[in-house]
Structure 1
């Protein structure tokens, strides 16, 4: 069974084309399951549309859900369409996000840390002029937030858990026990992590997380799933077969997806 749980569309302001285009791309790629998971609005902001080039407006969210549910019915005989969302994780606003998500029948919610220390994880300038100890502190704060997101109970999946390396490949070489501690917490929480193939679109290349992190994830009993993080329809299911083969080589026996927030196990 082929599935892809991480796709975006033009509502977020930085992806192309409509939801229907991603569903059609999934069918063309031979998928049986496609998840729609655009960026959540900034529910903690007083503004309706706080970041037009990053996420949809709060007022647009009900229309997003309604469109996915309509398309789920329309395509039911061709492919299973899942209602998801990629949610930012801000501990100070977690209750507001929980209240909003409780209004809708999500199949799954991806929790992603995009800001750490108030700065985008993709901001390459954050690393300039830092000494080694400060680099470790930045990395540990990022994983502290990921660990907190795992413990929050808000998410079925954690998104791109080493994406901070996207525009700073040396991130992976910063040594700290916080990475293993976080993987252990994720395993204990029963939350899955995605193998996200969008790293190939950034300076670092490859996937999130690294093969080394996947080996450690297996050690800590962490479940894995697949997400292309497609922002154009042609990237739906990108590298799916390569990811499946790599997971088998590492030692994983299965991966998972979520329907009605229930784990579905798919043998590798």
Structure 2
């Protein structure tokens, strides 16, 4: 079974196309299931859309859910359309996110860290003039947030767990093996899956999130995995799916998972 659980569309303000475009691309790519998982609204502000080029507006959430549900019915029998959402994990607003999203019939939620210490993980200038010791502290802070998101119980999937390397490839060389291993153990204990996210190829780092070395350690600790292209344009739906599948089998994984009605469904590799 071929699936892709991580796609975006125009509501977030930095993706092309509408939801139907991604579903049609999924059919063309041979998917049996496609997850629609645009960026949730930012709830930590009274504004309807505090960051219009990053998150959808609060007022768009209900219409987003309704549109996906309608398309789910329309495409039944052709492709399984899954209702997802990519949600940032902000400790100060975690309970607000939990209560706001609870009434909606999501098949799954992706928890992602995009901000550390008040700055975007993709801001490569943040590393300028930082000492080696400070770089280690920032990397440890990133993984501490990922651990906290795993323990929160809010998410079925954790998104792109080494994406801080995206625009700063040297991030991977900052020594923090202990923090990464501890994070993978927490993820396994929390029964949350991690995605292999192929959008890393569009960043300066190239390749996928997470790296093969992290996936080898994830396998050692018993972490479950899923697939997400993180497509921001329809042409990337299902991107590198076969290559990721082959890599996982080489590492030793025997299955990956997807989610429906927040139930984990294993699929043999």
Cα distance in 2 for partners of 1:77, 1:253 equals 27
User: Aligned runs of 1:62-211 on 2, under 5 Å?
Assistant: 62-176=62-176, 177-211=178-212
SS at match of 2:264: strand
Cα distance in 2 for partners of 1:45, 1:238 equals 35
User: What residue in structure 1 maps to residue 52 of structure 2?
Assistant: 52
Give 1:44 deviation, angstroms.
1.6
SS at match of 2:183: helix
SS at match of 1:142: helix
Is 2:215 aligned against 1:214?
yes
Cα distance in 1 for partners of 2:193, 2:175 equals 24
Give 1:100 deviation, angstroms.
1.1
Give 1:46 deviation, angstroms.
1.1
Cα distance in 1 for partners of 2:2, 2:44 equals 35
SS at match of 1:85: strand
Cα distance in 2 for partners of 1:67, 1:217 equals 36
Q: Which sections of structure 2, spanning at least 5 residues, go unmatched?
A: none
Give 1:181 deviation, angstroms.
0.5
Give 1:77 deviation, angstroms.
1.5
Residues 153-204 of structure 1: CA distance to partner in whole angstroms, max 9, x if unpaired?
A: 0000000000000000011111111111001100100000000000000000
Cα distance in 1 for partners of 2:77, 2:187 equals 35
Cα distance in 1 for partners of 2:86, 2:131 equals 33
The runs of at least 4 consecutive aligned structure 1 residues that moved more than 4 Å come to none
User: What residue in structure 1 maps to residue 237 of structure 2?
Assistant: 236
Cα distance in 2 for partners of 1:118, 1:68 equals 32
SS at match of 2:108: coil
Give 1:215 deviation, angstroms.
0.3
SS at match of 2:187: helix
Give 1:141 deviation, angstroms.
0.3
User: What residue in structure 2 maps to residue 33 of structure 1?
Assistant: 33
Q: Which sections of structure 1, spanning at least 5 residues, go unmatched?
A: none
- For normalisation by structure 1, the TM-score amounts to 1.00
* Count of aligned pairs between the two proteins: 268
